[in-house]
Structure 1
Amino acid sequence: MTALGLAAGPVVALGFTRFAYALLLPSMRSELDWSYAAAGGLNTANALGYIIGAGSAAWWSRRLGAGRSFVWGMIISAVALLASGLTDDFTALSVLRFVGGLSTAVTFVVGSALASRVRTGGRQQRSAALVGVYMAGVGIGVVLSGLVVPAALTAWGASGWQAGWLLLGLLALLAVGPATWAAKGVPSAPPAAAAQGSAGLSRMAPSFAWYVLFGAGYVSYMTFVIALLREQGLGTWSTAGFFIVLGAASALATLLVWGRVIGRLHGGRAPALVSAIVLVGVLPVLLSDGPAAAIVSAVIFGTGFMAGPTAVTVLARRMLPQHAWTSGIAWLTVAFSVGQAIGPLLSGALSDSEGGIAKGLWLSVALLAVSAAVALFQRERPAVAPAVPASAPAAEPAPVDQK
């Protein structure tokens, strides 16, 4: 139940603040007369904030405590969502997207570390499953966005995008309650040992490179796929159905499948598998038009896209000492955010050129293919645990490298 309560964090951090923008984008772009590059730039502002938030998450965790950082990040994100519905100024929206990115990164990174510390009785596969429960919050947030935003667009017409932001902000405030309860139930992290953790990060260099490429590849699809489907003739509720199916597939796969699968795979095998599945998920909407291709794409892409953060969180947990989990996950998330900042800009620029949105989304395919190859260079070695006082609880054992 604790991991499920923590999942309210990614509901807000990614399901609402990051991915709901794809549903709101066609209406915002039409009413505000944006180019695709400008639309991608707004998501890049969000990603830049995410980079800073991820890089400072460990500092905030030490400064305020993990639980407070997690909860306050959600509160600030909710306020940014509400404020986004109160202005149509591009600069103001960019600032709000930046602030939302910063606060949600703190929530997501610290929440990932909290989920990694939920007691598991020393079982690695159960630990991976609990991280999967936490990550399933993203899919739940996508489903809720797929219900709320189209309803707002239907009810309020051209100004429905503003109502959509406001409704998401209200839901985000409601999510703070269960998140606060869950954060209080997580054991405290052990004290940090001096001069440890950096060597573990250097051994994860292939994972950093993979996460940059994966972030750029998947977020380009998530930013512009709704616009592509609208170009192909799908209406508001058809695209909403696509988004709901994608979110439901993500939540179910993350809850029921990926935690167990990732718990059994070592080194870069899990990230490579995730990239391959997400790549296959992009292809149906590029190779065919219509609702059937959209649903196939939603199911395959949705099944895989949030398995990426699950895989890298579990890998960090295995390869880093426990006191370094928050900082390790934070720096990995910085790499992820760099990719997410670059991807929409490049994809948006390509979408504005001859060939349209589909040309921009082929960039996702190329980036995901390269990321799968890079992931296979990752080798896994157990974390070197720092010495702890005799009274301190023992850390869960790291898995033995199967290679």
Structure 2
Amino acid sequence: MIAVTFGFARYGYGLLLPQMQAELGITPRTAGLIASAGYASYLIANVSVIWLTVRLGPRAPIGLAAVLATAGMTVVATASTATGAAIGVVVAGSAAGLAFPPYADIVAEQVPSARRAVAWSTISSGTGWGVAVGGPIAIGFGDRWRFAWLVFVVLAVVTGIVATRSAPPRRRDSRRPRLPQLSWTWFICPKSRPLLISSVLIGAGSAVWWTFSVEALHTAGLAAGQAKIAYAVCGAASVLASLSGSLVDRAGLRRSYLGTCVLLAVAIVLIALEGQRFVLILLAAVLFGAFYGAVIATQGIWSAEVFASRPSAGLAAVNTALTLGTISGPAAAGLLINRSGYPTTFLAAASVVAVSVFFCPPSARRRDILAAHQCRATPVRD
């Protein structure tokens, strides 16, 4: 389900953008605005999913995500104008916001605590699976980008049915479900602040890669097929993020997060400086895919610690912060590309990601200080 809603519905736009630009007349500035609009719809869905999950259980938002992913990608596949494509991207983008947070509750309730880090990192790696599958599909269809979107639609329908049937329904009891009335001091406090700030920074820098990497490589001189291969390799490497849970268990949350953020920034620098050297671009794609997935998985593990009392609400807060970054990143990048070109834009994106190392999981000493602080929620309503 994460492969469909993220790998296809959310990141398929960046994968197929060069061909869509040529046929629909999408400029870099417009491309950035469309990507930001898709991330904005993700943000809205990410906020509403808290209410849906509490009221209706995990099955309802997962099922709705499947419907929106299918509808949005169908609109993109049949679009005849940039406006039509934008509408489809916005609808499809909301699917990812609904699909991801419910799995935080599912893991917390159904997976033994000793295996939660591995389980969560495996779920997070779904994005990589989606991009890894989507890349060969896009390469196979070449300039016929509409057919690639239609294949994504078929996969979304099948996966959506299976995922919805597999998700647990709302618990049946005599009491009316209680809606969380959570205060800002619960979401934003000394424990959560570094996590949320780093999420914004990672979102802003990484969204530039997801939106513009294929077009940047094509502009630098790589063939369109090579650029798509690099994108697919990035997705395949993201699957390695499923091992990040084991890495956290061995190296600790703080070291794992610092290392993944640094290597993610290095990957973006490589695409900025070595856009014409295919071998180095493949290395950059592997680094970006593996360590982007690892950063997201590690944020999920970190979020489960910070927001242990309400995992889905906490993960929605983290995703909201990540999305605020992804909204601003492509829009700002589109403007910077027009003025300074792709290399400068990607160096700026790498710098943004690099700053995130200053907002990392706390050291042992800092954890002792934070242990005395309680991030409180206001009472919930019956």
Q: Same fold (TM over 0.5)?
A: yes
Percent same amino acid among aligned pairs? 22
| Aligned counterparts of 2:151 and 2:247: Cα–Cα separation in 1 | 36
In the alignment, does 2:140 pair up with 1:134? Answer: no
Corresponding residue to 1:63 among 50, 55, 60: 55
| Aligned counterparts of 1:331 and 1:305: Cα–Cα separation in 2 | 19
In the alignment, does 2:313 pair up with 1:327? Answer: yes
Query: 1:274, CA displacement in angstroms?
Result: 2.2
In the alignment, does 2:204 pair up with 1:216? Answer: yes
In the alignment, does 2:138 pair up with 1:149? Answer: yes
8 Å Cα contact 1:16-1:141 kept in structure 2: yes
Query: 1:376, CA displacement in angstroms?
Result: 5.3
Residue deviations 1:115-144, cap 9 Å, x none?
343322x31xx2100001111211110011
- Letter of the structure 1 residue corresponding to residue 329 of structure 2: G
In the alignment, does 2:303 pair up with 1:316? Answer: yes
In structure 1, the residue corresponding to 2:100 is in which secondary structure? helix
2:94 aligned residue: 102
| Aligned counterparts of 2:179 and 2:256: Cα–Cα separation in 1 | 30
| Aligned counterparts of 1:265 and 1:341: Cα–Cα separation in 2 | 32
2:287 aligned residue: 300
| Aligned counterparts of 1:49 and 1:265: Cα–Cα separation in 2 | 36
8 Å Cα contact 2:208-2:329 kept in structure 1: yes
Residue deviations 1:314-334, cap 9 Å, x none?
112122234x11111111111
| Aligned counterparts of 1:264 and 1:77: Cα–Cα separation in 2 | 37
| Aligned counterparts of 1:248 and 1:104: Cα–Cα separation in 2 | 19
2:168 aligned residue: 184
1:43 aligned residue: 35
| Aligned counterparts of 2:79 and 2:227: Cα–Cα separation in 1 | 25
1:361 aligned residue: 346
1:204 aligned residue: 192
Residue deviations 1:298-318, cap 9 Å, x none?
111111001222112111212
| Aligned counterparts of 2:308 and 2:179: Cα–Cα separation in 1 | 9
- Letter of the structure 2 residue corresponding to residue 285 of structure 1: I
| Aligned counterparts of 2:182 and 2:326: Cα–Cα separation in 1 | 29
| Aligned counterparts of 1:170 and 1:250: Cα–Cα separation in 2 | 23
| Aligned counterparts of 2:171 and 2:52: Cα–Cα separation in 1 | 18
Corresponding residue to 1:373 among 355, 358, 366: 358
| Aligned counterparts of 1:209 and 1:268: Cα–Cα separation in 2 | 15
| Aligned counterparts of 1:358 and 1:224: Cα–Cα separation in 2 | 11
Matches within 5 A, 1:262-273: 262-264=248-250, 268-273=254-259
2:380 aligned residue: none
1:165 aligned residue: 149
8 Å Cα contact 1:77-1:99 kept in structure 2: yes
Alpha-carbon distance change, 334 to 267 in structure 1, aligned in 2, over 3 angstroms: same
In structure 2, the residue corresponding to 1:321 is in which secondary structure? coil
2:244 aligned residue: 258
TM-score, normalised with respect to structure 2: 0.88
8 Å Cα contact 1:113-1:329 kept in structure 2: no
| Aligned counterparts of 2:271 and 2:88: Cα–Cα separation in 1 | 31
Alpha-carbon distance change, 193 to 103 in structure 1, aligned in 2, over 3 angstroms: closer
Q: Count the aligned residue pairs.
A: 366
Query: 1:195, CA displacement in angstroms?
Result: 6.8
- Cα RMSD after superposing both structures: 2.7
In structure 1, the residue corresponding to 2:78 is in which secondary structure? coil
In structure 2, the residue corresponding to 1:353 is in which secondary structure? helix
| Aligned counterparts of 2:186 and 2:87: Cα–Cα separation in 1 | 35
Once the two structures are overlaid, the 10-residue window that deviates more, 237-246 or 107-116, is: 107-116
Query: 1:238, CA displacement in angstroms?
Result: 1.6
| Aligned counterparts of 1:115 and 1:96: Cα–Cα separation in 2 | 31
Query: 1:52, CA displacement in angstroms?
Result: 0.5
Query: 1:112, CA displacement in angstroms?
Result: 3.6
| Aligned counterparts of 1:265 and 1:319: Cα–Cα separation in 2 | 19
Residue deviations 1:314-369, cap 9 Å, x none?
112122234x1111111111111010000001111111113x11121112111011
| Aligned counterparts of 1:217 and 1:286: Cα–Cα separation in 2 | 13
Query: 1:196, CA displacement in angstroms?
Result: 7.0
Alpha-carbon distance change, 304 to 199 in structure 1, aligned in 2, over 3 angstroms: same
| Aligned counterparts of 1:302 and 1:185: Cα–Cα separation in 2 | 33
2:9 aligned residue: 17
| Aligned counterparts of 2:25 and 2:215: Cα–Cα separation in 1 | 14
8 Å Cα contact 1:148-1:164 kept in structure 2: yes
Query: 1:245, CA displacement in angstroms?
Result: 1.5
| Aligned counterparts of 2:244 and 2:178: Cα–Cα separation in 1 | 30
| Aligned counterparts of 2:318 and 2:165: Cα–Cα separation in 1 | 27
| Aligned counterparts of 1:286 and 1:385: Cα–Cα separation in 2 | 41
8 Å Cα contact 2:125-2:297 kept in structure 1: no
| Aligned counterparts of 2:317 and 2:356: Cα–Cα separation in 1 | 18
| Aligned counterparts of 2:345 and 2:289: Cα–Cα separation in 1 | 20
Once the two structures are overlaid, the 10-residue window that deviates more, 192-201 or 63-72, is: 192-201
1:229 aligned residue: 217
